[in-house]
Structure 1
Amino acid sequence: MRRNTSILLLAVGHACVDIYQGAVAALIPFFVAERDYTYAVASGIVLAASLLSSVAQPVFGALTDRWAMPWLLPVSTLLGGVGIALSGLSGAYGLTLFFVAVSGIGVAAYHPESARVARLASEGSHSAMSWFSLGGNIGFACAPLMVAAAIGHGSLHWTPVLVLPALAGAALCVPVLRMLARTPTGHAEAQAPRSADDVASFVKLSLAVVFRSIVFTGLSTFISLYAQQRLHGSTTAGTTALFLLFLGGALGSVLGGSLANRYDRVRVSRWSYLLSIAAVTGVIYTPGPAMLLFVALTSAGLYVPFSLQVTLGQDYLPSRIGTASGVTLGLTVSIGGLISPLLGHLADTTDLQTALAPLIAMPALSWLVFRALPEPTAPGTRTATLTPATARHDG
């Protein structure tokens, strides 16, 4: 029961943080409408949230390998919320980029440490980690609804309302950290030797994560605008499409953990990426409301491997759990943002359908990578202390 309580609280906290990842994409149509941004300029906002995050997450992961920093959970949650809350207050593009980047740094600091703590609380359970990931998926799904509720009938000056989830998430971090610190599992176990690391497989896995990130972030950035065009609707059509893209991840994450208990993680991930190839094709080329069905299938297909990739990375790199989490969990939500301006420029010079078409190749590349990956024979269950004094490692 104690483990279930900890995972539940961590999952809800994860949802509060990932609202701010989803909020960046959800704010794009409002920036375009209110400030007359072009596709390329608007996608630069996604780049601002992703650029520092993509660099910072592995750095924070490496730091958590050397020192446990549980205080990062509430602090980074607040940072993520404050950045988004301030992003709509100034009409200056530079300040908007700055505040969104601040939010991205907060998200970057949160994920490696939260994945380490979730691994500790889950005791190596794939299902428990999938529930932790589910929290993030729900946060993504709620983001367009919260943004629409906060500023849909007003203006971007209402973005300060969006700080509320951060306040709730920071408060939820405190009891779970206290709970884990009091349990025997909160004390450090021997760190896996570096000779146990499968660096080659970890690098291959990271490539698959990057390809997944590109297709998911590309769709999340432009799906609202694309749905409005394809369905000849208002912003409601775009909000619905973005909501489905994020909500399908909830089903995918739980399904991934369940399937991994029956089959191995590598096989399940290969299946999901095959499904994603067809689903992304349907999103881009299927006319009418049927497009929304393919949006949901795409989300499920891309999220089945989500938590599985995190635990695979930790098992390929058992001596560097934080670094593995920072790369697999961090790159999933950041590297794709580096590609978004290129898609935006292509959309400005051609059209959105042409710009989104290359995304079909991304899950195919992830599938090819997974064909070359082994399933770890003895998944690591290394835990780490919640107190910096006992968590420090040499090297």
Structure 2
Amino acid sequence: MKLVVQVKLLPTPEQSLALEATLRACNRAADYVSQVSFDERLKDRNSLQRAVYADVKAAFGLSAQPVVRVVKKVVDAYATLRGNLKAGNLGAPGSKRYRKATSSPITFRPEAGQPFDDRCLSWQMDARTVSIWTVSGRMKHLRFVGAPDHLKTLAEYRQGETDLVRRGRKWFLVATCEVPTPDVFEPVGFIGVDRGVVNLATTSDGANYQGRRLARYRRWQAHKRAELQAKNTRSAWRRMGCRRRKEHRHATQVNHCISKEIVSVAQRTGRGIGVEALDGIRERVRPRRDQRGRLFSWPFDQLGRHLAYKAKRAGVPFVEVDAAYTSQRCPRCGHTEKANRSARDHFRCRRCGLAGPADVVAGVNVRDRARSAWAFVTMPVPPSV
């Protein structure tokens, strides 16, 4: 499986200036290549490279291999655009977003990330330094730091390109690692995970990960963004973007911690993980107007993706099950009725009297469905007649 490992660079002021000049030169070249690709309808890498190689190398001060990386960067950007258009992510043909995306060439930010291959960038893992090509010449002994487990993964499994990225005044290298996927073990049971807003995740074991702190943080950020939006200045809009990215990073970190703990418990106890399939949740629910922004921007899907890839990396079975009526069905007698959940936090079966926290009951139902789904998936195929 592919993992992305990020390390932080520690350049001197002179090295930082050289890196900045390199990104700006590469992205100016990418804008030129993108214009040629758009004007001449060149989509494949070989024909585009033949058309622009000599001009880019002479005009932008790039060496041979960085030119090749710039061309590939442009080709990949247009391939991504075509994929989004085909999937309908930019609206229907003829819509305003669709026309805007197809009426002009792709442009690149002056300090957008730039990919480097092993000819342009080499790692000295023992010394914790890299040697990287820049427009000012080869830069050696550029120090980097990272988490110990990230550095171990990087040293053992790094493959392919590495991206040079700048965020604010900080520099990072983002490398792709091909980590072997362990075999999935046969579970002795399952942990059902119910996702929500008040409680981010509740397991069938009764573990509860509350979302009140994250909700409070998001409300505070929304209030600050509203204040900045009222100013309506370039500086205010720039700061709004910074706050939006900061909120996203905070929510991502919360989901990482929750998913890591759940997968760790499942791996230690020899059980699998079952979650609700929340595909199409926007079409199924009809929240009030004042609830739409909070519900539709809540990171449900991200938590599910974190659970899926961490479970895969640990060899833990992972199953998605139907989410219908998991919070209204009694796990003991099977009676399903909306009145079973008289309040958001409380469940009481109208037939057998089973009572308990509603999210825990939902987690138990998810666990039972995951157990049945796993038995069906792993059922031996009967021999053909």
**Fold shared, TM-score > 0.5 on shorter chain:** no
State the TM-score, normalizing by the size of structure 2: 0.26
| Bigger RCO (CA 8 Å, 6+ sep) | 1
Greater strand share, structure number? 2
State the TM-score, normalizing by the size of structure 1: 0.25
Greater helix share, structure number? 1
Which structure has the larger Rg?
Answer: 2
